[in-house]
């Protein structure tokens, strides 16, 4: 594959890690951000000596310029927020995932930019009922009542339709909950780690599993999907699913000052978690992420996902274990003043 590529949303957690992964593997990277003059967001990119350009998903001309001369495009830019404050913000999220994404694909087509790699999410995959076979990249979620799930699901479905119309070579990457170092501001995934560190599940933690993945492995899957992926394919980027209870236990092993949950919460009590989280968020000063809407969308189902296609087709194996990833996340949260 040719190695002159654009990464949109390059100042974010995924975008920044992806730029580093690409540079370290010999790529010439153009990194697009909304504000190249924002030192906090661009300092790390400039240290990598990549070309930093201004682009906005709602400004087609800026995207045309960003895509010009590129051999590939990584469409990473999105809004990751589990608690939009109002309908206007929710609408902006959905528009970003659909209209903004479409503008990038159209610009890539105009520039004859070769392969497009779209960053999606495992939330587009339907969790399964107990005793059912694992979900896979062929599964699609039907409950999009959570705005972020709607943003990613509607956006990816529209992207596949548009890629077909335009004749684009496109693949997508579906990460789990992304933790690990390198973020200059927290995300909903790292907010969970912050919440657990501050005692949100001290009274009791539910045995609810979710597939987490380290940011370095997410970046790796993106590169492998660009280099080895089959056009029209979706690639899941996860490590093993871990229950919230076991996650806090692992955090205690990393940092014994983080208290263990007093109990593993029985199933009939898990509906209390959003209320406890909201209360603790106010007391301990962390963002409230485990909302009732999120709980209801997954309640009674399990995050069991078959990612064998990614491992086989791309030769992918997670390289960063849970405890290392959690430790690095905690260190990063401390470095930005969250802990």
Catalytic positions, written as ranges:
152
Beta strand 241-243 pairing with 209-214? antiparallel
Burial grade of 188 (CB within 10 A; 0-12, 13-18, 19 or more): middle
Beta strands in 76-164 (DSSP E): 115-119
Q: How far apart are CA 330 and CA 181, in angstroms?
A: 8
At 201, is the secondary structure helix, strand, or coil?
coil
Cβ atoms of residues 129 and 302 within 8 Å:
yes
For residue 312, give Cα distances in angstroms to 167, 236, 308, 309.
26, 11, 6, 5
Measured distance CA(226)–CA(1) in Å, rounded: 8
Distance CA 208, CA 191 (A): 17
- Report the C-alpha gap between 34 and 54 in whole angstroms: 5
């Amino acid at each position: 594959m040719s190695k002159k590529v654009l990464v949109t949303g390059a100042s974010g957690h995924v975008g920044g890690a992806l730029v580093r992964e690409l540079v370290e593997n010999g790529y010439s990277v153009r990194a697009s951000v909304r504000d190249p003059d924002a030192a906090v967001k661009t300092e790390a990119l400039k240290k990598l000596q990549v070309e930093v350009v201004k682009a906005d998903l709602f400004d087609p001309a800026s995207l045309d310029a960003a895509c010009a001369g590129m051999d590939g495009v990584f469409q990473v830019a999105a809004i990751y927020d589990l608690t939009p404050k109002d309908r206007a913000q929710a609408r902006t999220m959905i528009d970003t995932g659909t209209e903004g994404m479409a503008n990038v694909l159209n610009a890539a087509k105009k520039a004859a930019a070769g392969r497009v790699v779209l960053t999606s999410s495992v939330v587009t995959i339907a969790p399964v009922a107990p005793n059912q076979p694992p979900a896979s990249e062929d599964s699609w979620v039907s409950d999009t009542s959570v705005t972020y799930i709607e943003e990613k699901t509607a956006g990816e479905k529209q992207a596949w339709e548009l890629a077909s119309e335009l004749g684009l070579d496109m693949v997508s990457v579906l990460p789990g909950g992304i933790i690990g170092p390198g973020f200059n501001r927290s995300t909903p995934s790292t907010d969970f780690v912050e919440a657990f560190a501050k005692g949100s599940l001290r009274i009791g933690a539910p045995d609810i599993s979710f597939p987490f993945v380290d940011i370095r492995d997410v970046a790796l899957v993106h590169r492998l999907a660009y280099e080895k992926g089959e056009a029209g394919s979706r690639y899941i980027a996860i490590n093993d699913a871990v229950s919230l209870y076991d996650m806090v236990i692992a955090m205690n092993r990393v940092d014994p000052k983080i208290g263990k949950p007093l109990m593993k919460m029985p199933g009939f009590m898990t509906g209390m978690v959003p209320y406890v989280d909201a209360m603790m968020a106010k007391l301990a000063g962390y963002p409230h992420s485990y909302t009732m809407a999120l709980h209801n969308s997954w309640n009674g189902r399990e995050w069991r996902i078959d990612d064998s296609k990614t491992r086989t087709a791309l030769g992918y194996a997670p390289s960063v274990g849970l405890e290392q990833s959690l430790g690095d996340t905690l260190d990063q949260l401390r470095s930005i003043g969250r802990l």
